[in-house]
Amino acid sequence: MNPKYLLSLLLFTPILAHAQAPFPFAIKGQVGHLNAPAKVYLLRGNEIADSTVLQNGAFELKGTATAPSEARLVVQRSGRLKSIYDASPNHKNIILEPGTLAVTSTDSLPNATLKGGPLTSDYDRLQASLKPIIAQAKIYEAAFGRTPEAQRNTPEFKQRLQTQFDEIGSRIRQAHLAFAKANPASWVSLHALQQAGMMSTPEYTELAPIYNALNPALKASPLGRTYGQMLESIKDVALGAVAPDFTQKTPEGKAVSLKDYRGKYVLVDFWASWCGPCREENPAVIKAYNAYKGRKFEVLGVSLDDEKNRAKWLQAVKDDKLVWTQVSDLRGWENEAARRYHVQSIPQNYLIDPTGKIVAVNLRGEQLQATLARLLK
């Protein structure tokens, strides 16, 4: 996992907005003493919602929204912003809510203070809890940038990088969950729960108790109802649930069903030939397979390649020396098994016990080894 992708995920994943009564908002700011051609942009999701030229550092933006949402302010000294991916480091994430938000800084947006409504105060507290974690992620990113290309390709470096990514992801996830637990009446807690789910596969048994403890009015809101529906949809793949059965074909055309593995532990591994992180994780799966294969443990690979990538799938199996059973319906992200397991990103895996129940999700590297050692001792 590239650290730059990690930072982009941590720094800006928009809150999903859902239709309700529109409300006006205003953003008034002072950022140093910049003048034209410098401009400030308001980014909402994947769109540039508004912009204005800075006048001695001052600006004002107005708009309407149908629900509270996360947005981003960006200052471009050149005045040009081709897309949200062209944004400079001079930015600040904010919450759009009814009323006026004051943004003040003597130099740049990252150092700006925000004064707005109650959601802005809650959002500031959440961001403060994330600040040291993001700082550590930047340290990892800088170290990655200083590492020679040849060293980056070694298994040892890749494993260390994955360990660092897992550490940051776990810490950011726990910070979001802690906020949601401590603030059951805040709309920002729904955002926190969403973010926690984006950092790894949403786990029903972990998220449902926190959601159920939220203020009833919050759960009854459009976003609250949507989140509740999402939780219900993943209930069938929660820890302890009986794993949904599926049948797909090997490259040779043989039909293989998950139920064929009853009586053994089986790791259902969702991956694809085009997925770099999946390919990087394969050596760890190979190590685990070689250590525990046989009477008690198997791996079942499920590829999210599509028909046009069939040859690349088979070549990846050969190149990565994946000797366990591989299946696919070659429908890409529409893979039936992936849809049953609510797979939204890969690599993703489920460890299923001999009785067919899900006992672990998304085991990586040494964690996979340790879990198998404990279960198969």
State pLDDT tens for residues 185-218.
999 999 999 888 776 677 888 899 999 999 999 9
Quote the pLDDT of residue 147: 92
**Calpha distance 306→332 (Å, rounded):** 4
Crossing angle for the helix pair 222-233 and 204-212, nearest 10 degrees?
A: 150
Q: Check residue 309 and report its DSSP letter.
A: G
Query: According to the model, what pLDDT value does residue 20 have?
Result: 57
CA distances from 166 to 56, 137, 162, 225, 338 (A): 44, 11, 6, 30, 23
Assign 271 a pLDDT band (cuts: 50, 70, 90).
very high
* Cβ-contact 13, 5 below 8 angstroms: no
Q: Are 247 and 255 in contact, with CB atoms under 8 Å apart?
A: yes
Return the ∠ at Cα 80 (arms to 77 and 81), rounded to 5°. Answer: 110
Q: What is residue 327's three-state secondary structure?
A: strand
Q: State pLDDT tens for residues 115-136.
A: 999 999 999 999 999 999 999 9
The model's confidence at residue 244, banded by pLDDT at 50, 70 and 90, is: very high
pLDDT of residue 18: 43
The answer to whether residues 85 and 72 touch, using CB atoms and an 8 Å cutoff, is no
What is the amino acid identity at position 40? V
Query: What is the chain's length?
Result: 377
Q: What is the pTM of this model?
A: 0.75
CATH of domain 247-375: 3.40.30.10
**pLDDT digits 0-9 by tens, 91-118:** 999 999 999 999 999 999 999 999 999 9
Cα 116–Cα 118–Cα 121 angle in degrees, nearest 5: 70
CA neighbours closer than 13 Å in the CB half-sphere of residue 173 = 17
pLDDT for the residue 26: 98
How many angstroms separate the CA atoms of 269 and 271, rounded? 6
User: Helices 365-375 and 276-292 meet at what angle, rounded to 10?
Assistant: 30
Residue 15: both structure tokens together: 């809150």
Exposure letters 62-80 (e unless 16+ CB within 10 A, then b): ebebebbbbbbbbbbeeee
How do residues 10-22 score in pLDDT, each as one tens digit? Answer: 444 444 444 457 8
Token pair 């443990």 is found at 297
Query: pLDDT exceeding 90 applies to what percent of the chain?
Result: 73
Q: Where do the structural domains in the chain lie, given as residue ranges?
A: 3-119, 128-235, 247-375
Q: Are 3 and 137 in contact (CB under 8 A)?
A: yes
DSSP 55: B
Could you tell me the fold of the domain covering 3-119?
A: Immunoglobulin-like (2.60.40)
* Chain mean pLDDT for the chain: 90
Q: Is residue 237 within 8 Å of residue 268, measured between CB atoms?
A: no
Peptide bond into 37 cis (omega under 30): yes
Tell me the three-class secondary structure of 302-340, residue by residue: EECCEHHHHHHHHHHHHHCCCCCEEEECCEHHHCHHHHH
CA angle 40, 44, 48 (to 5 degrees): 50
